[in-house]
Amino acid sequence: MTTSTKTKRQPKPETISALKERGFSSIKEYLIDLRDEYGLPGFVVAAIWQSLGEDELFDGIVSACQDAENSGEFDDYSSIYA
């Protein structure tokens, strides 16, 4: 049986530059902003991020967050956890 150790992958330099251009210092800060902007639970944004990855940070992840918001599935979330 082999054990694996998870290593934290560093963002690409172009991702860091794009984040800074948008006023964010990290991917985490950007994802928190998406969570707040779309009123989604953090675990939903994290799952979208883990599914789509860094290459979709400014396109696919935003679209998926918009879809999740528009689904109405998480409308009560903000009132429960506010």
- Give per-residue pLDDT as tens, 6-25: 667 899 999 999 999 999 99
Cα(30)–Cα(45) distance, integer angstroms: 10
- pLDDT band, residue 3 (cuts 50/70/90): low
* Tens of pLDDT, residues 56-70: 999 999 999 999 999
Instruction: Identify the pLDDT of residue 4.
Output: 55
* pLDDT, the chain, mean: 88
For residue 3, what are its two tokens?
């054990």
- pLDDT band, residue 2 (cuts 50/70/90): low
Name the helix (H) or strand (E) containing 59: none
**Phi/psi of residue 68, nearest 5 degrees:** -65, -40
